[in-house]
Amino acid sequence: MSAAPRADDARDVDVVCLGESMVTFVPSRPGRLADVPAFSRGIGGAESNVACSLARVGHTARWISRVGADGFGDHLVAEIAAAGVDVSYVRRDPDRPTGVYFRTAGERAVDEGGGGGEGDEGGDGELSEVVYYRAGSAAAAMSPELVPREQGWSGRVLHLTGITAALSDGCRALLRELTTRAPGRPLVSFDVNYRTKLWRGGGAGRLLDLARGCDLVFVGEDEAGAAWGLRGAAAIRAALPEPEVLVVKQGSAGATAYARRPGGGDEVTCEPAPRVEVVAAVGAGDAFAAGFLSGSLRGLTVAERLRHGHLMAAAALTVPGDLGAPPAREHADGLVALDAGAWGTLRLAPGWTDAGPVSAEVATP
């Protein structure tokens, strides 16, 4: 199967995820940030979200980053470790702080899709008001000098996102180093995660260059339009022919995967997303990537990987925070195995991941 993770006994974890995580503050009630009197604390970060989701479904995952030598850094490392993620390569910076951000609850009406296209960590087009305090953060100081390549390449898969590339020149240099094709490189997964707030000075073309050097790429159809002026999945594939697998997320419509055939050309697979009763439109794209990567690690078909991505996205969309408890593997596998008609009737509501094995309740509208 295309973009299969490398099997190598010397690699001690399934997936390495590298990037910034921040402490997030969510209002205790709906309303503008200016009007809310209190906030609850959580964590947010595209790469650590993927690592936590993978660990929770039974894979070994490592998160690499830098955090401040402060209480927020303590909280981040403890929470991510509690999800079962290896944090042994996280470094503390005595001179720079841990990043934080505040967001509203996104209480306006949302499109009820599970395709993983909804905003993650304050993405454009999402329904939350977001304010970042991340400039000069500890994670922004990452560079090839501070993060040795052998650490980034220590797993069967290395997962990166375009958010890291926007943080600093050093971070961009690190991503170029880690995505350079060379002997010993693992499968490199890249989620474009375009954020106009982070690329206001331009430079979205750098994301396209980075994506071209990777084996598996995730990109939202909407963000490809915003970043590169591309319209439609076929146009995105034409601009990104290099990755062995390209996954174009299409929100409530689902997702389309282009997987290169050994003899040339692509196998094109489309899977619709189930209907989802959305609680908060955050974290879905990260969860989708984790579900697809989990299926890749298990050697599943591309269609099955897409469905697992949709289900993991639905788990995130049906909870208030960035991370939803994923369904048990038996439950997810049962849903993924449904025929097209039954899959098309799925409607997933809050609490659906606790349903256990597939039931008539879950598998009908």
* 62-71, 163-172, 352-361, range with the lowest pLDDT: 352-361
* Residue 182 CB neighbour total at 10 angstroms: 9
pLDDT over threshold 60, residue 108? no
Three-class secondary structure of residue 159 per DSSP: strand
Query: What does R_g of the chain's alpha carbons equal in angstroms?
Result: 19
Q: For the chain, what is the mean pLDDT?
A: 88
What pLDDT shows up at residue 360? 32
Dist. CA 249–CA 252, nearest whole Å: 9
What pLDDT shows up at residue 356? 57
pLDDT over threshold 70, residue 166? yes
* 108-117, 140-149, 254-263, 280-289, range with the lowest pLDDT: 108-117
Spatial CB neighbours of 183, under 8 Å, sequence gap ≥ 6: none
| Mean pLDDT of all residues in 207-217 | 96
What pLDDT shows up at residue 121? 38
pLDDT over threshold 80, residue 167? yes
pLDDT over threshold 70, residue 125? no
Spatial CB neighbours of 190, under 8 Å, sequence gap ≥ 6: 159, 160, 161, 162, 179, 210, 211, 214, 216, 217, 218, 243
pLDDT in tens, 26-41: 888 888 888 889 998 9
In the chain, where do the E strands start and end? 13-18, 22-27, 39-44, 61-64, 66-68, 91-93, 100-103, 130-133, 155-161, 187-191, 216-220, 245-249, 255-260, 266-271, 275-276, 347-348
Three-class secondary structure of residue 219 per DSSP: strand
* Residue 23 CB neighbour total at 10 angstroms: 23
pLDDT over threshold 90, residue 332? yes
What proportion of the chain, given as a percentage, has pLDDT over 90? 72
pLDDT band at 365 (very low <50, low <70, confident <90, very high): very low
**Residue 319 phi, psi (nearest 5):** -135, 160
**Can you read off the two tokens belonging to residue 279?**
């609680």
Give percent helix, percent strand, percent coil of the chain, each to the nearest 5. Answer: 30, 20, 45
pLDDT over threshold 70, residue 127? no
Q: The tokens 């490398």 sit on which residue?
A: 6
Dist. CA 155–CA 54, nearest whole Å: 13
pLDDT in tens, 169-198: 999 999 999 999 999 999 999 999 998 888
Instruction: List, by residue number, the catalytic residues.
Output: 286
What pLDDT shows up at residue 354? 84
Dist. CA 235–CA 253, nearest whole Å: 17
pLDDT over threshold 60, residue 204? yes
What pLDDT shows up at residue 224? 95
pLDDT over threshold 90, residue 321? no
The better pLDDT of the pair 209, 264 is held by: 209
Spatial CB neighbours of 261, under 8 Å, sequence gap ≥ 6: 2, 267
What pLDDT shows up at residue 158? 98
| Mean pLDDT of all residues in 37-61 | 94
- Asked if 155 and 11 touch (Cβ cutoff 8 Å), the reply is yes
* Residue 189 CB neighbour total at 10 angstroms: 28
Dist. CA 24–CA 37, nearest whole Å: 16
* 125-129, 281-285, 314-318, range with the lowest pLDDT: 125-129
pLDDT band at 120 (very low <50, low <70, confident <90, very high): very low
* 106-110, 134-138, 246-250, range with the lowest pLDDT: 106-110
